[in-house]
Structure 1
Amino acid sequence: MPRAFQYRPRFVDIRVRPPSVEEEEKAKADAVGLKPGERACDHPGCRKPATAKAPKSREMLNEHYWFCQPHAAEYNRHWDFFAGMSEGEIRKRQQEELFTGGRPTWEMKAGRNSREAASFSAKFGKGEGYRDPYGMFGGQGVKREAPQAEARQLGKIERAALADLDLEVDAEGPQIRQRYTELVRRLHPDANGGDRSGEHKLQRVIKAYQSLRKAGMV
């Protein structure tokens, strides 16, 4: 048989592989025809250009999601600035808004890096006129414990995505990838004898993983 007609089998990898961030952005740009300088909506699955921004959470007012107009309106309808706060915390926040406009205030004294503070610290370092057995003023006393790292702050979309993957809010990249792989293997019809009862959950898992990739958590 001539070589041109020899049978050459082809093997196709049927495993589910999420698209890369570059592929995802390119697909969105091709689908909606984004103009230079425009960005796609951050809502999972949306391919419209983003025209409005919304804060990610109460603790992250300087960080924003970018949404198209319909998804921005939907996000704002469910936005509750005081969600999760006690009555006392709400009253305190309202008083801060009333007296200071919610902005931070500072004491009228020399800053930590000022010349006066440096001179004062130098005198205390020499132990002039005082005893500091516990090192409260920078001496060689008892060492204080290092401050603990602050908890990671997440937006509403990232928290929902972690919940869809059955993970806690402090989950890191390797743990997210491992859980995603486990759920895909468990829910994909090719891996469980053609059972399609978990397809809806599988779609949510894939969308959640893409959201976390887009947020730079994976």
Structure 2
Amino acid sequence: MQKNVISQFVMDVIELGSFVNSPPHGFTAERRAGCTLVKWDQEKSCVFIDEIQSSKGKVIFCNSPGREITVRTLGECTDLRRQLTSKTIYILVSACSNTKVEEKTNREVPDLGYYVVAINGSHPMIKWEMERGLDLTISSVAGESYTVDVDVSAALQGWVGENFHIIVDAEKVKPVWKDTHFTIKYRSDALFDFPYWFGFSKRQFKVCFNNSAGLSDGCIVLRV
């Protein structure tokens, strides 16, 4: 892929089964008994996906730290920031129907399935949003622990638009997106980290953009 094409890539939404069956560039999927191992190029991607029990078996993204990333030094924090703003970020989201999003159930797989969201952290618009959010939420006070939720729901909804539907039993279903975040945990060794112990160190920011930047807002239909 040419460099100018890569720079224009902002976001993609891929059904998990399609992702595993036809892995994108930099990913490979190896089927084992009862599970699928997904390997990826760590030089180009940040994968924040936990082990998944899908409708077709277990899916494991090798070397992924999962949805929660823990850093313990400012050096690790700086390195994570560099990765988030220079690589493609992959997280797993759940698609649910409006009628079932609040329904309590023992099913492990959401009723509309899992989707992998890919976000180009090096795209100028995403990079600016990510850096701004990190600057606003991560304290420079030495010795303070904190937890930051990076929520991509606004970016996801802005990308797919209002006309996005999933076809289920020949009917169009507008999904409600859940689990649209990943978490950065900074853990200090300070013994008297009162904000953390009293729950005052939790922060959140949303990564978002609007289609006025020239992004398509046309109808996108995914099939499951």
Band of TM-score, shorter chain: under 0.3
TM-score normalised by L of structure 1: 0.23
Quick check: which has more Rg, 1 or 2?
Answer: 1
Task: Pick the structure with more strand per residue.
Answer: 2
TM-score normalised by L of structure 2: 0.22
Larger relative contact order, structure 1 or 2 (CA cutoff 8 Å, min sep 6)? 2
